[in-house]
Amino acid sequence: MVVKENASLKSLNTFGLDVVAARYARITSREELYKIKELPKPWFFLGGGSNILFTRDFPGTIIHIDLRGRGIDADNGNDVLVYGMAGENWHEFVRYTLQLDLGGIENLSLIPGNLGTAPVQNIGAYGVEIKDVFHELEAFDTENGEFVKFNAQDCQFDYRQSFFKQKGKGRYIITKVVLKLSRKHKLHTGYGAITSELENMGIHAPDIHDISRAVVRIRMSKLPDPAMLGNCGSFFKNPVVSKEKAESLLKKHPEMPSYPVSDTETKIPAGWLIEQCGWKGKAEGNASMHKQQALVLINLGNASGAELYAHAQRVKQSVKAFFDIQLEEEVNVL
């Protein structure tokens, strides 16, 4: 295990914040996990660094999960169990499944981060969530010092939620994820953005590869490259409100986009709410919401984590005051 003291985390978080960890440990094998009990607490388990906002230096140990490897666990013809280790880049894993002509996660192309954090967030986009194709995962229980397996029910998936963000937070380190994908492709083109992008591409009978390309084009047109402009993708969750609340808002704002999620609840795009409050592209100091996608908090170059967080709080307060909707951060804030 590689352990460093007073380690810079600038290259390990997509906001590009030059914060320092008292200790940094890089895990590259399952066997090394048995040794983490020797590392001083507090701990924080780091994946691809795309879902974290450091507001200060970290006083404990950053444990960087960098396990690599991918392949097929089982193949029955139509359904295929494909695995990836936690340190695998998510988009590269999507590309790998497309090379195998396996459908199921093409709508999740170009989402930042690593495979190990995908179930934690129950990542989703364009009508698909990881829970839809999830089979099982392996995790290391830091309390008992043993590897355990979780099925979909164990993970308690919900919208951008899971057991690992609630009761299991800080205890389990996800090491391996297994997804159930298919050679019998079921396309998800219900979101208008995909349909219109496919039309722009001149494609009228799309396959999974076309959908992936369309999603990549959409995301690249809206979302800044973290290598050029520090960000972590969507900073806030899309709020889910009661059906009655949504209907009341639609009377005042008939142009408001909304998506029923059940008979009693409706999802409203957070980016739209933020834009209506005047924050899209508006900078204060070195922090701003992106000019092309108001849901994305960006570091204009020299912002501190505290400055970025303060800007996010101003946005939240504005949306609460105007729409009476409380936005919730999608990222971990330390």
Q: What is the mean pLDDT of the segment spanning 121-147?
A: 95
Please indicate whether residue 162 is annotated as part of the active site: no
List Cα–Cα distances, 202 to 9, 62, 196, 210, 217, in angstroms. 43, 47, 10, 10, 14
* Phi, psi dihedrals of residue 245, rounded to the nearest 5°: -60, -45
CA distance 292 to 281: 7
Per-residue pLDDT at 63 exceeds 80: yes
- Per cent of the chain over pLDDT 70 is 100
Q: What is the mean pLDDT of the segment spanning 48-68?
A: 94
Q: What is the mean pLDDT of the segment spanning 100-110?
A: 96
Please indicate whether residue 56 is annotated as part of the active site: no
Per-residue pLDDT at 222 exceeds 80: yes
Q: What is the mean pLDDT of the segment spanning 236-240?
A: 93
Q: What is the mean pLDDT of the segment spanning 43-57?
A: 93
CB burial of 151-181 (b: ≥16 within 10 Å; e: otherwise) equals ebeebbbeebebbbbeebeeebbbbbbbbbb
Choosing from 160, 213, 217, 219, the catalytic residue is 160
Task: Show the domains of the chain with their CATH numbers.
Answer: 2-65 (3.30.43.10), 70-182 (3.30.465.10), 230-333 (3.90.78.10)
Per-residue pLDDT at 240 exceeds 80: yes
Choosing from 50, 162, 212, 234, the catalytic residue is 234
Choosing from 106, 136, 197, 330, the catalytic residue is 330
At 193 the pLDDT is 86
User: Which tens digits make up the pLDDT trace of 253-264?
Assistant: 999 999 888 899
Is pLDDT larger for residue 68 or for residue 166?
Answer: 68
Q: What is the mean pLDDT of the segment spanning 166-188?
A: 94
User: Which tens digits make up the pLDDT trace of 179-207?
Assistant: 999 999 999 987 768 999 999 999 999 99
Report the Cα 99 to chain-centroid distance in Å.
Answer: 23
Q: pLDDT confidence of 159, banded at 50, 70, 90?
A: confident
Determine contact, residues 175/85, Cβ cutoff 8 Å. yes
What is the SS3 assignment for 48?
Answer: coil
Q: pLDDT confidence of 175, banded at 50, 70, 90?
A: very high
Q: What is the mean pLDDT of the segment spanning 81-88?
A: 97
Closest CA to 66 of 52, 82, 46: 46
Q: pLDDT confidence of 281, banded at 50, 70, 90?
A: very high
At 192 the pLDDT is 67
Q: pLDDT confidence of 284, banded at 50, 70, 90?
A: very high
CA distance 10 to 19: 6
Per-residue pLDDT at 13 exceeds 80: yes
Please indicate whether residue 160 is annotated as part of the active site: yes
Q: What is the mean pLDDT of the segment spanning 240-251?
A: 95
CA distance 227 to 241: 35
Instruction: Round the average pLDDT of the chain to a whole number and report it.
Output: 94
Tell me the DSSP string of 244-287. Answer: HHHHHHHHH-TT---EE-SSSEEE--HHHHHHHTT-BT-EETTE
